[in-house]
Structure 1
Amino acid sequence: MGVQSEVEHEGFNNMILRKGCENLGYPVETVPRNAPSDHYCGWCCFGCKDGRKKGTSETWLVDLVESGNGAILPACEALRVITDESNGKKRAIGVAFAFYTPFGREIGIVESDVTVAAAGAICTPALLKRSGLKNPNIGKNLHIHPVVMAWGYFPDSPSPDAWPAAEKRSYEGGIITTMSRIIANFETSGYGTVIQTPMLHPGLFSVLMPWISGTDMKNRMVKFSRTAHIFALARDKGSGKITSETNISYKLEDSDQENLSKGLEKVMRILAAAGAEEIGTQHTRGRVLKVKQASEEEFERFVKEESLRPLQKLSGPIGSAHQMGSCRMGVDPKTSAVNPKGEIWEVDGLFLADSSVFPTALGVNPMVTIQAIAYCTAQSVLEVLGQKKSNI
C-alpha cells in the first residue's frame, strides 16, 4: 500500500489546520497515508487520476486479476444470496446479480462453495434482508462517524507575504495529511472527536453553504478556492437502523452532540489562529465573523453561540464520514449478525468482509481496519475451502 508519513508540499486546508494548531499550542501530527510524499492530487474522492493513491483498486484487486484466480464484473448489482437448505440449516451456494446489455436488463448467477458479501455498511444488510435472512441484528447498530465543519476565508492577496501563498487553492493537495487529537479522548473514554480536513469541490461546497440569498451564494462561490474547511469527526455512541438502502434511521446521542460541539469550537479557533479573515459554520442562519475587525469579546461570543447550537434539530448539515457496524461481529447470535470468523450465524458459507461487522464505531478513519478484517476473513474462507477439499 506504500504507506508513509512524509509531505513535500502540503495542501491549502492541511496547511491551515497545522498552522492554527501550532499557534494555539494544540497537538498536531502528520497522518500516515497510502500515497507518495509528492502526491498533490486533490481529486482522489473522484478516483485518483494518476493511480498514485494506493487504494484497493490499485493493490488487492490488481493482485486478484494478475493471479488468474478471479475476475471483476463491472456494472453489476447483487440482488440476493442464493441458499440451499439441508437438515434445517441454510448454506450459501451463490449470488444472483443484474447486469445490462444493449438488449436491456439481464439476470446472472454465480455459483460458489463460499460466498463473501462486502457491499458496505449500508448495502450489505439490505442485501441480506433481500436474501431472506431473519437475524434481527442485521441492519441494527449502525454508526456513521458524524461530522460538523467550519470554514475560514483566506484572501489571495498579491502581497508576497500572503499566506497561504497566492497560488494555493482549497481543492488541491494531498488528502488528510494533518490531524489534531486535541479532544479525541483516546487515553480516557475513547469517545471524542478528531480534527481533520475534507476534500471539498464546488458541488459539495455549494450544497453545504447556507442559502441566504442569490447574491450571498455568488459571493461565497467566488471565494471558494480560498475558503478552507476543517471538520470535527466524532466516534459516535448513538446508533441507527437500516431497513433498506433508502430507509435508514439514526439518532444522535447527547454525548455525541457534546463532542461535536466541542470539536466545532476548536475548529473555529484553529481557523482564526491560522489567520482567516472571515469564519463561519454551515448553520442555516449563515452568520459570518470578520475576525480581524472583531474584538476578543465578539470573537468569544460568536464561537460560543455557533458551537452550542443544537445539532439534533437539523439547523445545519451533519455529514457522515464512514458507515459501520450494521451487521456486528460477536460471540452470540442473540446480539450479533456474524461470528468471530466473519460468517453469518444463520447461513453456512456466507461471510461478510466490510465495515458492517464492526462491533462499535472506530475513533479514526476505518480504511486499514476494513482491509485487516477482510484479510482475516479471507483466512477463514480458505480454512472452509480447505476442509471442503479434504472431504472430497
Structure 2
Amino acid sequence: MLLKRSGLVNQHIGLHLKLHPVSWVGAVFPEDVRPWEGSILTAVVNEFENLDGKGHGVKLEAMCMLPGWWLTSFPWTNGVDFKLFASRMKNMVGYIALARDKGSGTVYPDPKDGRVRVQYTVSKFDKKHIMEGVVANAKILYIEGAAEIFTMIPGLPAFVRSAHAAALDQGINDPAFQTWLQQVRTHGFPSADTAFGSAHQMGTCRMSTTPGTGVVDPNGRVWGTERLYVADASVLPSASGVNPMVTTMAIADLISRGIAAEMSAERGAQEELKARL
C-alpha cells in the first residue's frame, strides 16, 4: 500500500500474496500438560512437505499455546461449552499443518476509504494438502495417548478414545478412530464456515528478473524507480518451503549490503570528481 500510495503503478504491486495457510488439531490428555509453558516450535515433521513432487505440501509443527490465542481458535457453539473447553486447556496440546501455498491472494485499497484490504481464499489444491496434514497430526496425537482429539472445522465432532480401545491397544488401527478419520476427510473444509490461520505473509512485492513479471529486481530495487528498495518477506517470488524468518533476514542482509556498496561507489565517484575539479 505504501508503494501504491506513493504513485507507483506496477501491476504486480499487491498481487501474489502467499500466506502459508494452516489448520490445526488439538487434543486433551489425561495428565496435566500446561502447554503455555516452555519453548514453542519444539518439533517439526517434514514427511509431508513435498506431496506433489514439486515442493508443495505441509509441515507439521508444534505450536504456540498462549491461552488468549488458543482459546479463540476453535468453532463457537455456546458459552457453557466454551467454559468447559477453557477449563481443560491445562491438559491440551495443539499441532498445525502449515501449507506451502500454490494459490495466492491480493492486497488492495478499499475503494471507499483507502484502507488496506486482503483477499485470499485457500485453493482446492492447498486444502487437499492441509487435509493430509490434519489427518497426520490426529494420528500423531492418537499415538501419543490423547484421550480426545478435535479440529477447528465447524460441524465436525471430536474423537473420544474409549477405555475398550485403550485396552486392545490397536494403535491408529482402532476402528472407531479410523471411522472418525474418514469423517474428517468426508466433511472436508466447508468453504463458508472453515477458518484458516496465516503463518507467514509473503510475495506482494515479488522479486523478478524483468520489470513485467515482478516489483523489484534481484537487488531489491523497485523497477523503474531510483533509490527505492524493498527488503522484507514481500519480495519472495513464491511461498517459502520453510518458516521464512532466516530467509527474510538473509534477503534483507543481502539487499542492504548491495545498497551500502552502491552508496559507497557513488561517494567514491563524487570524491574523485571533486579531486579532478
TM-score normalised by structure 2 residue count: 0.88
| Cα distance in 2, alignment partners of residues 277 and 359 from structure 1 | 43
| Cα distance in 2, alignment partners of residues 337 and 148 from structure 1 | 30
2:208 maps to a residue whose letter is: G
Partner of 1:320: 198
| Cα distance in 1, alignment partners of residues 218 and 235 from structure 2 | 9
SS where residue 340 of structure 1 aligns? coil
Matched, 1:177 2:42: yes
Partner of 2:162: 292
Q: 1:340, CA displacement in angstroms?
A: 0.4
1:147 maps to a residue whose letter is: V
Instruction: Give the gaps of 5 or more residues in structure 2.
Output: 110-114, 166-173, 271-277
| Cα distance in 2, alignment partners of residues 331 and 303 from structure 1 | 45
Q: 1:380, CA displacement in angstroms?
A: 1.3
Partner of 2:58: 193
| Cα distance in 2, alignment partners of residues 236 and 373 from structure 1 | 20
Relative to its length, the structure with more strand (as a share) is 1
Matched, 1:130 2:5: yes
CA distance change for structure 1 residues 147 and 132 in 2, over 3 Å: closer, same or farther?
same
Relative to its length, the structure with more helix (as a share) is 2
CA distance change for structure 1 residues 257 and 197 in 2, over 3 Å: closer, same or farther?
same
Partner of 1:71: none
Q: 1:329, CA displacement in angstroms?
A: 0.2
| Cα distance in 2, alignment partners of residues 291 and 317 from structure 1 | 26
In angstroms, what is the RMSD of aligned CA positions?
1.8
Partner of 2:151: 281
Q: 1:300, CA displacement in angstroms?
A: 0.9
Residue of 98, 103, 115 corresponding to 1:233: 98
Total equivalences in the alignment: 257
Matched, 1:375 2:253: yes
Matched, 1:351 2:222: no
Q: Once the two structures are superposed, what CA deviation does each residue of 1:125-147 show, in whole Å capped at 9, x if it has no partner?
A: x1111111110101010000000
1:359 maps to a residue whose letter is: P
| Cα distance in 2, alignment partners of residues 377 and 300 from structure 1 | 51
| Cα distance in 2, alignment partners of residues 286 and 308 from structure 1 | 10
Residue of 246, 252, 265 corresponding to 1:387: 265
Residue of 194, 197, 202 corresponding to 2:67: 202
| Cα distance in 2, alignment partners of residues 299 and 362 from structure 1 | 34
Partner of 1:303: 181
Partner of 2:18: 143
Partner of 1:155: 30
| Cα distance in 2, alignment partners of residues 385 and 312 from structure 1 | 53
SS where residue 129 of structure 2 aligns? helix
CA distance change for structure 1 residues 314 and 291 in 2, over 3 Å: closer, same or farther?
farther
SS where residue 212 of structure 2 aligns? coil
| Cα distance in 2, alignment partners of residues 333 and 308 from structure 1 | 45
* 1:200-279 correspondence runs (5 A): 200-244=65-109, 246-279=116-149
Q: 1:353, CA displacement in angstroms?
A: 0.7
Matched, 1:333 2:211: yes
Q: 1:155, CA displacement in angstroms?
A: 2.5
Paired residues of 2:156 and 2:184 also in contact (CA < 8 A): no
SS where residue 96 of structure 2 aligns? strand
1:320 maps to a residue whose letter is: S
Q: Once the two structures are superposed, what CA deviation does each residue of 1:316-354 show, in whole Å capped at 9, x if it has no partner?
A: 320000000111001111110000000000211111110
1:327 maps to a residue whose letter is: C
Q: 1:372, CA displacement in angstroms?
A: 0.4
Paired residues of 2:156 and 2:187 also in contact (CA < 8 A): no
1:196 maps to a residue whose letter is: E
Paired residues of 1:210 and 1:286 also in contact (CA < 8 A): no
| Cα distance in 2, alignment partners of residues 188 and 284 from structure 1 | 31
Percent identity between the two aligned chains = 33
SS where residue 213 of structure 2 aligns? coil
* 1:33-72 correspondence runs (5 A): none
| Cα distance in 1, alignment partners of residues 40 and 186 from structure 2 | 29
| Cα distance in 2, alignment partners of residues 177 and 187 from structure 1 | 26
| Cα distance in 2, alignment partners of residues 287 and 186 from structure 1 | 27
| Cα distance in 1, alignment partners of residues 40 and 160 from structure 2 | 28
Paired residues of 1:328 and 1:356 also in contact (CA < 8 A): yes
SS where residue 228 of structure 1 aligns? strand
CA distance change for structure 1 residues 265 and 388 in 2, over 3 Å: closer, same or farther?
same
| Cα distance in 2, alignment partners of residues 177 and 379 from structure 1 | 33
